[in-house]
Amino acid sequence: MGVTGGIAAYKSLDVLRILQRHGHGVSVVMTHTAERFVGSASFAALSGREVGTALFGDAEQPGYHHLDVNDGMDLMLVAPASANTISQMASGAASSLLTSCYLAFRGPVVVAPAMNTSMWLHPATERNIATLRADGVHLVEPESGLLADGAVGPGRLAEPASIVDAVEAVLAGRAGTRDLAGRTVLISAGGTREPIDAVRYVGNRSSGRMGWALAAAARDRGADVVVVQANVDLPREQGIRYVDAPTAAAMRDACRAEFPACDMLIMCAAVADYRPVDAADGKLDKSKADALTVEMERTTDILAELSALREDQVLVGFAAEHGPEGLERARGKRARKAVDIVVHNDAAVEGAAFEGADNIITIIGPESEQALPRMSKRDCAERILDAARPLVEALASRA
Ligand code: C5P
């Protein structure tokens, strides 16, 4: 475990503890800056092992210190990873013991960045993170929240338990598939808002979480990801291109523009089925009338329209249904819209589907159906991509 300089360095003591509780042996390497935040003695005491800090080992025992440190290690974790260390790792600089260990290490590497929001969002850091991803490094995205400098935004070290989850996923071979490398995945996310007047709209409860999870999963599997998003209030992630499309009409235009270049479309957004025929210019004045009737018209079904235009794209639709007949309606949707996969979820289940962190889905594919138990939206996303990827492959081999 590499520890670099930052306020979050103290949290790596927790990471170390949890790893040990799960039965892993941990050796720690620190940068000199990290030592200004937490003493090496704490890591030495907890790990029960010598902590590496200096590039040059003991003059009394000559050897190749960075190679000795790596010996017998199954995985390298850097948590927290500072902007500086990330930059050195991306460029291949070997100026510290930690970065020398990284260059010399042959196994999987997990990096959990932590830094101030401006540093995290700087184009240089974005480039370096993209380079690390392309080099096969597994990223544990920082979280959004209140940072040590008082700013609110992305950059806070992921929770120690999530970092350990990521490490164990990699060790178990559950992470690291780059089976979508070279593919472009277009994902719609969020819920559209259809204006009634200049300030009011007809909207829905979609949070965008499922679309966000799909985008991150597809990116981590190597895809180029474009998210057409409607009114999602979640932090944007690196390595993903976002197009804003707040209304059904804007979403239709954006999806049509992006569709020809994609290999897979996942239409996850809750697109309004009806919109007010005329949106009033200003704000409607309630003193003018006791009741308001808004005439609504149907919007274009984007998924059905794109399905008629498709050349060799794989199409995935969602069906948020209420109640027991929902599954049958979702099956019907797959046929009617002529898409490859429909993901059914029961919008009546508390805490699942809209807004929640979990979902309960049934993946209705061309050959089979998979009814899955309740799981995180990220896990749902992985299962949806597992089902869709072979179809992309089949189309590619046909071409
Ligand atoms: O017919 P229903 O709205 O239930 O179908 C849901 C699926 O169709 C979702 O994938 C949704 O994104 C898509 N849809 C669409 N355009 C609309 C309405 C829904 O693409 N106007």
Residue 175: is its pLDDT beyond 70?
Answer: no
Domain 2-171 and domain 184-398, same fold? Reply is yes
User: Ligand 1 centroid vs 318 CA: distance in angstroms?
Assistant: 7
- How far apart are the C-alpha atoms of 111 and 167, rounded to whole Å? 9
Residue 42: is its pLDDT beyond 80?
Answer: yes
Residue 259 CB less than 6 A away from ligand 1? no
Nearest-atom index, ligand 1, CA of 317 = 10
Residue 301 CB less than 6 A away from ligand 1? yes
Counting every residue written for the chain, the total comes to 399
Q: Which two tokens stand for residue 187?
A: 């994902």
**Mean pLDDT computed over 251-271:** 98
- How far apart are the C-alpha atoms of 256 and 377, rounded to whole Å? 26
Pick the CATH number of 2-171 from 3.30.930.10, 3.40.50.1950, 3.20.20.150, 3.40.50.1220: 3.40.50.1950
Residue 267 CB less than 6 A away from ligand 1? yes
For the domain spanning 184-398, the CATH number is 3.40.50.10300
pLDDT of residue 64: 59
- Contact at 8 Å (CB) between 363 and 341? yes
Q: Which two tokens stand for residue 4?
A: 């670099």
The owner of tokens 């149907």 is 298
pLDDT of residue 349: 75
Active-site residue flag, 204: yes
Q: Given 70, 84, 116, 204, which residue is catalytic? A: 204
Residue 319 CB less than 6 A away from ligand 1? yes
Q: Whose CA is nearest to atom 13 of ligand 1?
A: 303
Residue 24: is its pLDDT beyond 80?
Answer: yes
This prediction has a pTM of: 0.72
- How far apart are the C-alpha atoms of 179 and 135, rounded to whole Å? 15
- The per-residue pLDDT for range 354-392, each reduced to its tens digit, is 777 889 999 999 999 999 988 889 889 999 999 999 999
- How far apart are the C-alpha atoms of 341 and 343, rounded to whole Å? 6
**Mean pLDDT computed over 74-84:** 97
Q: Which two tokens stand for residue 206?
A: 């979609």
Q: What are phi and psi of 282, to 5 degrees?
A: -90, -150
Q: Which two tokens stand for residue 166?
A: 């990521």
Residue 245 CB less than 6 A away from ligand 1? no
Q: Which two tokens stand for residue 105?
A: 């290490």
Residue 273 CB less than 6 A away from ligand 1? yes
User: Ligand 1 centroid vs 248 CA: distance in angstroms?
Assistant: 10
pLDDT band at 353 (very low <50, low <70, confident <90, very high): low
**Mean pLDDT computed over 302-311:** 97
Residue 302 CB less than 6 A away from ligand 1? yes
Nearest-atom index, ligand 1, CA of 304 = 20
Nearest-atom index, ligand 1, CA of 306 = 20
The owner of tokens 């994902």 is 187
Nearest-atom index, ligand 1, CA of 321 = 4
pLDDT of residue 261: 97
User: Ligand 1 centroid vs 303 CA: distance in angstroms?
Assistant: 6
- How far apart are the C-alpha atoms of 250 and 229, rounded to whole Å? 10
User: Ligand 1 centroid vs 267 CA: distance in angstroms?
Assistant: 7
pLDDT of residue 71: 85
Task: Report domain extents, the chain.
Answer: 2-171, 184-398
**Mean pLDDT computed over 181-197:** 97
Q: Which two tokens stand for residue 219?
A: 């990116």
User: Ligand 1 centroid vs 272 CA: distance in angstroms?
Assistant: 8
pLDDT band at 293 (very low <50, low <70, confident <90, very high): very high
